[in-house]
Chains A and B, each alone.
Chain A
Amino acid sequence: MTAKLEAKSEPTATRHGYGDALVALGEAHEEVVALDADLSVSTQSAKFGNRYPDRFFNVGTAEANMMSIACGLAATGKVPYCSTFAVFATGRAYDQVRLGIAHNELKVRIGASHGGVSLGEDGASHQMIEDIALMRAMPRMQVVVPADYNQALAATLESYERDEPMYMRFGRPATPVVYDEIPESLGDGVDVMREGKDISIIACGHMVWRALEAAESLEREDGVEAEVLNVAIIKPLDSQAIVESLGKTGVAVTAEEHRVVGGLADAVRQVAAEQHPVPVFAVGMGDEFGLSGTGEACMEHFGLTARGIADRAREALVLKPIVSHPPLHGPEWT
């Protein structure tokens, strides 16, 4: 099945990984169906629709209808993949996702593209920066944020193998790859991309390649050895992997293209607070909406850059000797 799926080495959007994998899933599994709400070229679900028109339902701009139709399809044995922009998938259709999909524990996959501010010019109305928070808070919903094309492809393929309701966040711009190959599996969802002993940089999605750049500059300019973690499955969070890294470094910075409230930062802080209390600084969106500009200009504007991460790490490192301490003794990390 994966024969036609090839790893990319040049910058590619994560949404393309979703679209390419969706076609492969359609070929392999007759019960896979896809729905879209008039954004199928942007979300990349059109690739599936062109190949399997009988199993593709474009509902027009009616996201609520799409999610509830998916509920009915899944309750009757299909495996629906619902695509639209993150803002509409989670904001506009929250109640439909909540009751029809999550509450019913149905195998529906929401493939949301254009997450975060990097979609650029369309501005605040389209830049969804609280979708991870909404989907994390929703009972029984899994939250997946792949870091690059190759992992997006793997995540989409793997989504078929899992039974739980799942929200997958993809992005608009082409971004550098951080995996050389298509990963075989997402495992428990946390990959150590680079080992280090001084500070943990815990990132997701578009911030992972920036975190790796930040780690390089920290090493080059400060002699700091940063460990970089890619959290592709934010819920359920592999807390053991987080605590292991915190135990090693004693201080962390999270990085996400999303509100710090309810996002990756809060997920990590929750684990840290209960299992290994060390400082966890955050890079992300504050109490503010996005704005128009090129995607990269938007990222710059909000400090969602390698330099932003490195600067935050330097602040955290100043505090480290004051507030950090050796690991506590708890069952999860001893």
Chain B
Amino acid sequence: MGSVASLARVHLRSVPEPTPPPTSGDDVLSIEELERWATALRIDCVRMLAVAKSGHLDSSLSAADILAALYFRVLRHDPERPDWPERDRFVLSKGHAAPIQYAALARRGYFPQEDLMGLRQIGAQLQGHPDMLRTPGVEVSTGSLGQGLSMSLGIALALRLDGLDREAQVFTVLSDGDCQEGQTWEAAMAAPHFGVTNLTAIVDYNHLQTDGTTEEVMDTADVRAKFDAFGWDAVEIDGHDMGLIVDSLQRSRAAGQPSAIVCQTKKGRGVSSMEGRFGFHGKPPSAEQAEEALSELEARLGEQTAALQSVEQPPS
């Protein structure tokens, strides 16, 4: 019963409410606000995983800034109309990071926040890996690495046939593991060949995988140069620099060719005990680890909120 009690502690503890965010006066969120949302999404992930006692936390945390930038600023989407034909598409090729997408979808209103706690439970809509048949906002099911870029290319081609490729961009997030799968490079070869202009591949290059560091297991080396060699517009950025992430994502819309953004990231980003350290892949946090992680993330959320409020007061 001890474990149930500690689970309940994680599940039921009060979490600082990040909604509604302070507005920056424009109709888009500021970089600081996006950073704050990234922290809120990280908190959601820790809570989900602690309750599920299963899943990939560190892989979710490394992509938190990218997902916050996409779902809270860059994506043209409407949670009220998940099937709006002109929407941007998002495909999580690294499907094991599903918790971070679920957190973003819930925060944007695709489904109730409470549903997050059903992650990986029998009968719940939130499967271990994204499932388009069960979860609103999931465009295609993923989870077997290497397929997401090809699926995204298929979506981009369909949008072009529908005359929507100027409006609708397809964004996909890949992992180190995705880049080790040969199929990713089949898609990398095909996208420029087919002349698609509305495809953005974002590599969450966190340098850690199940069996060790990416360099030890199978060095994917200069991923940016590889995309560049296949004829992509390819840039490399700090994947935790919100300003750069947003700029690069927006810039990719106008590239006129397939775009790759290689984001140098740290696995477990935001949780000191986990950040950049091997051994956490696919391991859920214990109740104690979750407590510690939440304390750290909540403190950061508090600081970020305070900083925002000192600059600008939210409208009453």
Chain A residues proximal to chain B, CB less than 8 Å: 33, 54-55, 57, 59-60, 62, 64-65, 67-78, 80, 95-96, 99-100, 103-105
Q: Are A64 and B158 in touch, CB under 8 angstroms?
A: no
**Interface check B312, CB cutoff 8 A:** no
Q: How far is the CA of A80 from the CA of B157 in the complex (A)?
A: 12
Residue of B nearest to A67 (CB): B150
Q: Are A76 and B194 in touch, CB under 8 angstroms?
A: no
Q: Are B157 and A68 in touch, CB under 8 angstroms?
A: no
Residue of A nearest to B146 (CB): A64
Q: A60-B190, A100-B151, A103-B141 are in contact. List 17 more A-B contacts (CB 8 A).
A: A57-B194, A62-B186, A64-B147, A64-B183, A65-B187, A65-B190, A67-B150, A72-B155, A72-B156, A75-B132, A75-B155, A75-B158, A76-B159, A77-B162, A95-B147, A96-B150, A100-B140
CB pairs A–B below 8 angstroms (10 shown):
A33-B158, A59-B186, A67-B150, A68-B187, A70-B154, A72-B156, A75-B140, A96-B144, A100-B141, A103-B131
Most buried by A among B143, B153, B156, B157: B157
Q: Which of B162-197 contact A (CB under 8 A)?
A: 162, 182-183, 186-187, 189-190, 194
Q: How far is the CA of A72 from the CA of B141 in the complex (A)?
A: 10
Q: How far is the CA of A96 from the CA of B153 in the complex (A)?
A: 14
Collect the chain A residues with CB atoms within 8 Å of residue B133's CB: 103-105
Residue of B nearest to A98 (CB): B144
Q: Which of B186-220 contact A (CB under 8 A)?
A: 186-187, 189-190, 194
**A68 and B151 in contact, given A75-B140, A99-B144, A104-B141 (Cβ under 8 angstroms):** yes
Q: Are B141 and A73 in touch, CB under 8 angstroms?
A: no
* Distance to closest chain B CB from A32 (angstroms): 11
B60-82 vs A, Cβ < 8 Å mask (1 yes, 0 no): 00000000000000000000000
Collect the chain B residues with CB atoms within 8 Å of residue A74's CB: 154
B115-148 vs A, Cβ < 8 Å mask (1 yes, 0 no): 0000000000000000111000001111110111
**Interface check B259, CB cutoff 8 A:** no
Q: Are B155 and A64 in touch, CB under 8 angstroms?
A: no
Collect the chain A residues with CB atoms within 8 Å of residue B148's CB: 68
Most buried by A among B151, B182, B183: B151
* Distance to closest chain B CB from A96 (angstroms): 6
Most buried by B among A60, A72, A103: A72
Collect the chain A residues with CB atoms within 8 Å of residue B143's CB: 99
* Distance to closest chain B CB from A174 (angstroms): 34
Collect the chain A residues with CB atoms within 8 Å of residue B89's CB: 76
* Distance to closest chain A CB from B110 (angstroms): 17
Collect the chain A residues with CB atoms within 8 Å of residue B144's CB: 95-96, 99
The size of the chain B interface, using a CB distance under 8 A, is 33
Q: How far is the CA of A57 from the CA of B182 in the complex (A)?
A: 20
Q: Are A68 and B190 in touch, CB under 8 angstroms?
A: no
Collect the chain B residues with CB atoms within 8 Å of residue A71's CB: 140, 147, 150-151, 154
**A54 and B161 in contact, given A75-B155, A104-B140 (Cβ under 8 angstroms):** yes
Q: Are B147 and A100 in touch, CB under 8 angstroms?
A: yes
* Distance to closest chain A CB from B123 (angstroms): 18
* Distance to closest chain B CB from A56 (angstroms): 11
* Distance to closest chain B CB from A31 (angstroms): 8
Q: Are A68 and B194 in touch, CB under 8 angstroms?
A: no
Q: How far is the CA of A156 from the CA of B207 in the complex (A)?
A: 47
Q: Are B161 and A65 in touch, CB under 8 angstroms?
A: no
**A72 and B161 in contact, given A59-B186, A62-B190, A99-B143 (Cβ under 8 angstroms):** no
Residue of B nearest to A69 (CB): B154
* Distance to closest chain B CB from A76 (angstroms): 3
* Distance to closest chain B CB from A51 (angstroms): 15
Collect the chain B residues with CB atoms within 8 Å of residue A69's CB: 150-151, 153-154, 157, 187, 190
Q: How far is the CA of A72 from the CA of B162 in the complex (A)?
A: 14
Q: Are B154 and A72 in touch, CB under 8 angstroms?
A: yes
Q: How far is the CA of A99 from the CA of B142 in the complex (A)?
A: 7
Most buried by A among B89, B144, B156, B189: B144
Collect the chain B residues with CB atoms within 8 Å of residue A77's CB: 158, 162
Q: Are A72 and B158 in touch, CB under 8 angstroms?
A: yes
**A75 and B154 in contact, given A33-B161, A55-B161, A100-B140 (Cβ under 8 angstroms):** yes
**Interface check B152, CB cutoff 8 A:** yes
Of B154, B161, B186, the residue contacting A64 (CB under 8 A) is B186
